[in-house]
Amino acid sequence: MRKRDGMVIFWPAYFDQNYTRSQGRKIPSKLSAPEVTLALLKKAAESLELEYELEPEKRYPRNWTEAQGYIVIANNDGHKKKRLMLMLAKGVRRAAAQRKSARLAAEQKKGKKKGKKKRK
């Protein structure tokens, strides 16, 4: 593993509501989001305008059977890891809410096309 000065690593499991604390979640469940992926972490980092690198092929040590990957964020401002994690959690929840609303809109649009017939 390379040494990363001024960089902080975040795994998707840190923010996933489906994980328990013993499975690797690092933030309270009220601040977490369901089914966090590397793409959600990327969107959150972009929304916060943070410099980042993605390592998609890496495996989380507590769940090594699944290749989740991780995101490496530059800590130029010297924040503590917990503060960066909470900032990222807000962005993850926002991105997850957008994903959910887009999914619901697509389902409603799909449902409207099938179900209604014109009456004469």
Asked if the structure places residue 117 within a domain, the reply is no
Q: Report the alpha-carbon distance of residue 75 to residue 58 in Å, rounded.
A: 21
DSSP 49-83: T--EEEETT---GGGTTS---EEEEE-TT---HHH
CATH of the domain at 66: 3.30.56.30
DSSP E strands in 3-119: the ranges are: 7-10, 52-55, 70-74
Burial of 45: CB neighbours in 10 Å, binned 0-12, 13-18, 19+: buried
Asked if the structure places residue 88 within a domain, the reply is yes
Pairing of strands 52-55, 7-10: unpaired
Asked if the structure places residue 18 within a domain, the reply is yes
Which residue has better confidence, 88 or 78?
88
**Which residues constitute the domain of residue 81?**
7-112
What pLDDT score was predicted for residue 45? 92
The 10s digit of each residue's pLDDT in 17-45 is 998 998 888 999 899 998 888 999 999 99
Asked if the structure places residue 118 within a domain, the reply is no
What pLDDT score was predicted for residue 15? 92
Asked if the structure places residue 119 within a domain, the reply is no
Asked if the structure places residue 75 within a domain, the reply is yes
Say what the pTM is. 0.76
